[in-house]
């Protein structure tokens, strides 16, 4: 006779019922079920171990994208600041090369429109010029070195502030020469012109030299054309070292470029 198959009997007795339900399961079936359950648990653990980090990384992607966008925006701002810094350094190098060229407007006059003449390079003869003798009308360039005309002449009767001469940007301490032979009519310090020298010339001409750092002539002295009378500076109403050069006739301001052809 063959041995009866081993089995497990499961009896279920519902509450309040008089009958019970009996189930007879072979042992191999129970073992197979337990095996399947264990395999499922192991598979779930393997999936969690393999795909858990991927799911965590995927959840961080939106935050990383926002950080990348912010970094790109910051990089764009850095590039803009770098370009602005390069521009400032370039302007600074220009100003250092020729102090007063491309100068910043006077903060006191930012509220009004100031006439700014185009920057014209004012060349003079390479060899130093010695003074000649005698009285003469002003027709000589008052500087030995090159300079930039940063502001031209503007007359009255316009919406712009009157400016009776030329502003020539030169380094502090540049030699200033008499534009013509004459007599020192006045010198001193003025709120607008700073340290200045005013010369009388024949035919009722006068020349004014302003924003000086040092005056080298005395009141009433006779000066020859081309004689050194002062050193340029930054005194008075001035934002950078330059020479204010002015020509008058009968108390009427003239554009110096109409008389002085030597340096323009």
**Interatomic CA distance for residues 182 and 226, integer angstroms:** 11
- pLDDT for 234-255, tens place per residue? 998 888 899 999 999 998 888 8
Contact 215, 234 (CB under 8 A): no
Neighbour-count burial for 96-111, b at 16+ CB within 10 Å, e otherwise:
eebbbbebeeeeeeee
> Cα angle at 32 between 29 and 36, to 5 degrees?
140
**Interatomic CA distance for residues 178 and 216, integer angstroms:** 11
**Beta partners for residue 248, in sequence order:** 206, 253
CATH code linked to domain 107-258: 2.70.70.10
pLDDT attached to residue 38: 85
The reply to whether the predicted model has a pTM over 0.75 is no
pLDDT attached to residue 257: 83
* 249 vs 117, residue with greater confidence: 249
C-alpha distances in Å from residue 146, one per residue of 12, 93, 122, 142: 116, 17, 5, 11
pLDDT attached to residue 77: 84
Mean residue pLDDT across the chain: 77
Domain boundaries, the chain: 1-76, 107-258
pLDDT attached to residue 218: 94
- Helix (H) / strand (E) containing 228: strand 228-232
| Rounded average pLDDT over 27-48 | 81
C-alpha distances in Å from residue 193, one per residue of 67, 81, 189, 255, 259: 58, 38, 7, 18, 22
Least confident of 26-35, 77-86, 158-167, 233-242: 158-167
* 230 vs 13, residue with greater confidence: 230
pLDDT attached to residue 109: 45
- Percent of the chain exceeding pLDDT 90 equals 26
- pLDDT for 43-82, tens place per residue? 888 877 777 777 777 777 777 788 888 888 888 888 888 7
């Amino acid at each position: 006779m063959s041995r009866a198959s081993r089995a497990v009997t499961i009896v279920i007795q519902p509450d309040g019922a008089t009958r019970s339900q009996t189930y007879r399961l072979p042992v191999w079936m129970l073992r197979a079920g337990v095996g399947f359950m264990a395999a499922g648990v192991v598979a779930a653990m393997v999936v969690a171990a393999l795909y858990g980090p991927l799911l965590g990384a995927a959840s961080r992607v939106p935050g990383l994208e926002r950080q990348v966008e912010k970094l790109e925006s910051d990089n764009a701002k850095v590039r803009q600041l770098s370009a602005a810094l390069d521009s400032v350094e370039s302007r600074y190098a220009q100003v250092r090369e020729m102090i007063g060229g491309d100068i910043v407007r006077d903060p006191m006059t930012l509220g009004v429109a100031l006439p700014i003449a185009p920057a014209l390079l004012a060349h003079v003869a390479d060899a130093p010029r010695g003074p000649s003798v005698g009285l003469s009308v002003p027709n000589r360039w008052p500087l030995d070195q090159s300079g930039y005309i940063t502001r031209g002449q503007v007359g009255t009767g316009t919406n712009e502030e009157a400016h009776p001469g030329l502003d020539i940007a030169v380094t502090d301490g540049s030699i200033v020469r008499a534009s013509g032979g004459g007599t020192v009519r006045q010198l001193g310090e003025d709120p607008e012109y700073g340290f200045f020298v005013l010369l009388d010339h024949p035919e009722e001409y006068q020349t004014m030299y302003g924003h000086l750092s040092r005056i080298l002539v005395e009141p009433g002295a006779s000066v020859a054309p081309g004689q050194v009378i002062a050193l340029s500076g930054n005194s008075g109403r001035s934002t950078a070292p330059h020479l204010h050069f002015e020509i008058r006739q009968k108390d009427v301001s003239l554009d110096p470029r109409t008389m002085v052809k030597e340096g323009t």
